[in-house]
Each structure stands twice: as structure tokens, then as C-alpha cells.
Amino acid sequence: MTPNMQKFYIDGAFVDPIENRPLGVVDPATEQVFATISLGTQADVDRAVAAARAAFASFQFTSKEERLALLERLLEVYERRYEDVAQAISREMGSPIARARDSQAYAGLGHLKATIEAFRRFEFDETRGTTRVTHEPVGVVGLITPWNWPLNQIMCKVAPAIAAGCTMVLKPSEIAPVSGIVFAEILHEAGLPKGVFNLVNGTGPEVGAALSSHPDIDMVSFTGSTRAGIDVARNAAATVKRVAQELGGKSANIVLPDADLEVAVSQGVNACFGNTGQSCDAPTRMLVPADRHTEALAIARRAAEALRVGVPTDVETQIGPLVSDVQFAKVQGLIQAGIDEGATLVTGGTGKPEGLETGYYVKPTVFGDVKPGMRIEREEIFGPVLAILPYDSVDQAIAIANDTPYGLAAYVQGTDIAEARRVARKLRAGSVYLNYPDWDLFAPFGGYKQSGNGREYADFGLHDFLEIKGIVGYGD
């Protein structure tokens, strides 16, 4: 365990908090505290913001080559500490260790590489007539990240912020903070100039609110629930700072009539249940042709029951525990709501899987005969729970898919690629995935409607941290 657990990273050093406010970090597989962090206060945030503001005075004028060298050193150290990152994520959020290595820790690595590649190609200046259009760093940024993809979201913010020339204060989730502290150690070893990156642990209502309302913060980049995102935007409004948000989702997965049903449904179950269902863009609403609904339920049952639920340390485990007792209670309540509202329980249900009585484990659950308006169809569950809805026409499926306050992602499965593309055009979502494609680190990521604003990944993320200045009369 890192020796810096109860310290914050401010102005290039690990420092003690101003006030001693310890918080135990619970291992969701054992329900036991395995580490203790400190909770920050407004005073800690003020200290971190002051360090970032002082550093911005010079860091904003560093060259592209200097910042690229910093990112390349960060990549070198991250690769060396890769297993430490994976182990931290597995322990703090219950991610199966195989997934922590090949998805969770890899996400940080992949996004860093993509940012570096996009940054190399990025042009900060262009000439339009006698006007020079230039991109400049937005300033000091507050970064607030979630527990479900810790390094994915940290890297999606920190790497482009460095590339843009911003300085920053990060608040990782207090539920899964260990990987963030390891990341601060990585940045320190990479030799980032003091004050450019700062980390203060704490809760959303305290540290998050202090960052989003702080007069010396120029921008807030937030990933989390829509409810919390509304609070961030409200806090930021008084100082008219930029707010970028990646929020909740309730993504539809339309299985078109010509799709290979076995492949479409079984892969859809796996996609929904990946990361123990704790992904904002998970395809949690599967829409299938009504005349094949019964067949789809049988396929979904087989796929769900084939998944291995177990302890995170087992390399064969595919589904681990949920992150906390609060999340466990929420998911259990929504599973019960599905039963009470008359959906068909295909497999799973309430309670813990046999043999896993300790830990926040949930039975992989599939519902059929789900109707629009049911809670399991409307609300973001954030657990391994799939709702399957029958549809009579493709137009009806599109209407159901779009009938949601969210718009983060959507999925379409079909043999006729032209038809799949046509349907994709009609879906109101920031990302649409056709036939379960490979992950594209250069595609934009972000949402419509109450799923947020702004875009992350590669050059799209870089733009979020830049201001645009026009120097009129600049000349040739």
C-alpha cells in the first residue's frame, strides 16, 4: 500500500491535510476497511488552487514540445507502475483482476497514448485572411472523477489538460481513491512541474462543491451522476466558468430483425454485464423483435448463467462485487421493482449468489417482457441487470430507444449495414456502436440531453481545455 494514503498532492509534494479527517476505504469483496484516506476541506482546496494558479503563470507559455515530453515521460512511468494501478483498482472497486489489467488499467494507458498521438498532430494556430486564430489553455481546471472507471476518467482529463497547457486540481472519488493516489505518484516521478497537477481527496458536497464554485477555477470537468452534475453546474454558474460533463445513461441496444440473434443477444448480455454492469454507457435496454422475444430470452439466460461471478483476485472471475453497500442496496431495490411491476424474471433476482454471502455481490439478472415506463427501463441501475423489450417495428424500436432523458450511447445489431447506419442516424445519442465494434480511442465520447455536454478522447478532449482567440489584423 502506498505510504501517501492520508496525504494530498499539492505544489509538487505530498502534504498533510490542514485538518485530520480520516475515512476508511472499504474492499467491496470483503466488506472490510483496507485503507484510510483523508477528507479535504475548503482550506485544502484553496491551497491546491493557489498552487495551480501560481503554476499557470508560466506553464501556459510552455512549448508544445515541452508538454509533449512531459506526456511521454508520464507514459514511461505509467507503464512501469501498470500492475500497481491494476491492483489498486481491483481492491478499491472490486474489479476482477483480469479486467483490472486488460480494461481498467489499460484504459489509462490507451487514452494517454491516444492523447499523445492526437497532440502531435494538433495545430494551435491558423490564419484566416489577416486574422490569426489561436488556441490557448482555458486556465486552472477542477477535475472531478468517478469510482467506476477510475484511471479511464482521470487520464481522459489530466492528459489533455496538460497538453493544452492547463494546471489542475483533481478530486477522485472518495469511494475508490487509491488508484488516484498511485497516479499522483506516477506524475511526481514523471517530473511534472510543481503546481501543475494537484490532488485533494474528499466528498462531492465538500471538496467537489469547493472546486466547482471556486472563483480561481476557470473550468470544471466532471464525470458522474446526472444528479451530481446538476449540482456542479449550479455551483459553477455564479462565476460563469466552463463546465464539461459526462453523466448518466440508459443506453438502448436495438437488435434488428435481420441480426444473428444468438450473437446479438449473447454479446449484448456480456456488454451489459461488463464491469459488473457499472458503466454509464452499458447497453442496459435490449430491444428485440416481438416475434423472437421468447427465443431472445432463452439466449440471454444461457449467456448470463455462463458468466463466472467470484472474488476479484481469481483470474477466472468475470463479474465481481458492486462497489459499495449503498450501490448494492440500490440495485437490489431496482431488481425488486422489476419483479413488482410485472416484468418476467428470466434469471437472477434479489439476494447474493450462493457461496458469496460476504461482499456486495449481485446475481446477474435478466428481465423479459419489459414495458416502456417500468423503473428498470427508465432508471440507470448501475449493476448487472438487463431489461429486454419486445418491439413490433423498427420505427417503434427507435422511438423507444429515444424516449429517455439520457443520450450517452446506443447500440445497433444487424446484418444489413446500410440499415444499421440508417437506424444509427435516428438515435439521439453521443455514441452509436454498430455490431459490437472494437473500442476506438479516437472516437468522441460524450452525451446528448441529460447525459452531459462536451466530448472526451484524443483531440476531442483537447478542445475542451482550450479557449479560442482571434487576433484580427495579425497579418500574413
Amino acid type, 445: F
Contact predicate 265/294, CB 8 Å: no
Residue in 92, 280, 380, 456 annotated catalytic: 280
Nearest-angstrom CA–CA distance, 24 and 280: 26
- Whether 72 is a known active-site residue: answer no
Where does 8-105 have alpha helices with state H?
42-59, 64-80, 82-93, 97-99
Please state at what angle helix 64-80 crosses helix 106-121, rounded to 10 degrees. 160
Pairing state between β 242-246 and 452-453: antiparallel
Query: Cα separations (Å) of 364 from 167, 188, 189?
Result: 42, 41, 41
Query: Cα separations (Å) of 219 from 32, 398, 442?
Result: 37, 36, 23
Contact predicate 385/402, CB 8 Å: no
Nearest-angstrom CA–CA distance, 222 and 245: 5
Amino acid type, 280: C
Q: What order do you get walking across the sheet with 344-347 strand by strand?
A: 344-347, 365-368, 385-391, 285-289, 252-255, 409-413, 431-434
Q: What order do you get walking across the sheet with 131-137 strand by strand?
A: 125-128, 131-137, 466-471
- The rounded radius of gyration (Å) of the Cα atoms in the chain is 23
**Cell numbers describing residue 10:** 499539492
- Whether 272 is a known active-site residue: answer no
Nearest-angstrom CA–CA distance, 200 and 211: 10
Query: DSSP letter string over 228-277?
Result: HHHHHHHHHHTTT-EEEEE-----EEEE-TTS-HHHHHHHHHHHHHGGGG
Task: Tally the residues of the chain.
Answer: 476
Cell 440508459 belongs to: 250
Task: Quote helix, strand, coil % in the chain, to nearest 5.
Answer: 45, 20, 35
Cell 437490489 belongs to: 332
Residue in 246, 377, 380, 456 annotated catalytic: 246
Pairing state between β 252-255 and 242-246: unpaired
Torsion of CA 224, 225, 226, 229, to 10 degrees: -40
**Residues with a known catalytic role:** 246, 280
